[in-house]
Chain A
Amino acid sequence: QQPVQSPQAVILREGEDAVINCSSSKALYSVHWYRQKHGEAPVFLMILLKGGEQKGHDKISASFNEKKQQSSLYLTASQLSYSGTYFCGTEDNYGQNFVFGPGTRLSVLP
């Protein structure tokens, strides 16, 4: 079952913050976050495995709620390089069948 992402798109100015949400109707083993720039392949950002987990690097971080049904990706003090489409991904069928959300298009303007 495909996870739900929100918002579908967001436009920011450099230096502003953004939050992208990913949710599922059932508890998940894990949630992944990927970023894809136009015309390129998706690139892994991070994976969260435990309920209540928070992790991040640089100014991009993510959280996984205690029930493991929702994750949020936080982008702080956004840079032009953050522009792209962000996908969350989760497992289906006992961890073998991987499913991506529909994506959130992030545009950072100067």
Chain B
Amino acid sequence: NAGVTQTPKFQVLKTGQSMTLQCAQDMNHEYMSWYRQDPGMGLRLIHYSVGAGITDQGEVPNGYNVSRSTTEDFPLRLLSAAPSQTSVYFCASSLELAAYNEQFFGPGTRLTVL
């Protein structure tokens, strides 16, 4: 049981490049989400999904796309990277709605955009 896994752990991009951050969970959780955490700050919700085929925007969705084709995977796509997207990205999952359930976090992806 690996829990929540994220790849890559570190990534450096140039402005304008695109990339996909991978997230997978093996706990059969319905709810998955992506957060970004900037230095010295809290976690801000980017996008979330309440089940396969269903996604919605969080607090800071601009510049990011998501899809949820399976229960296990929830990739985050950066369309055209900008320096403002330099951050640590965490994927999380919970059995059902995050409001009522413990969220399990992946180890994070540290992204730098030059």
Contacts and interface: CB of A to CB of B under 8 A. Distances in A.
B74 interface: no
A33 to B, nearest CB: 11
A41 B48 contact: no
A42 interface: yes
Given A41-B90, A42-B90, A42-B105, A99 B100 contact: no
A49 B104 CA distance: 18
A87 B59 CA distance: 17
A92 to B, nearest CB: 8
A97 B45 contact: yes
A64 B44 CA distance: 23
Contacts, number: 67
B59 A42 contact: no
Interface in B14-60: 33, 35, 41-45, 48, 50, 56, 58-59
Describe B's contact surface by its main secondary structure. Answer: loop
How many B residues touch the partner, as a band?
A: 20 to 34
A98 B42 contact: no
B101 to A, nearest CB: 8
Given A42-B43, A42-B90, A87-B43, A98 B98 contact: yes
B75 interface: no
Contact of B99 (A2, A95, A102): A95
B102 A41 contact: no
Given A91-B98, A98-B33, A103-B42, A44 B103 contact: yes
Interface of B: 33, 35, 41-45, 48, 50, 56, 58-59, 90, 97-108
Given A2-B42, A41-B105, A96-B97, 15 more contacts: A32-B102, A41-B90, A41-B107, A42-B43, A42-B90, A43-B105, A44-B104, A95-B99, A95-B100, A96-B48, A96-B50, A96-B56, A97-B58, A98-B45, A98-B103
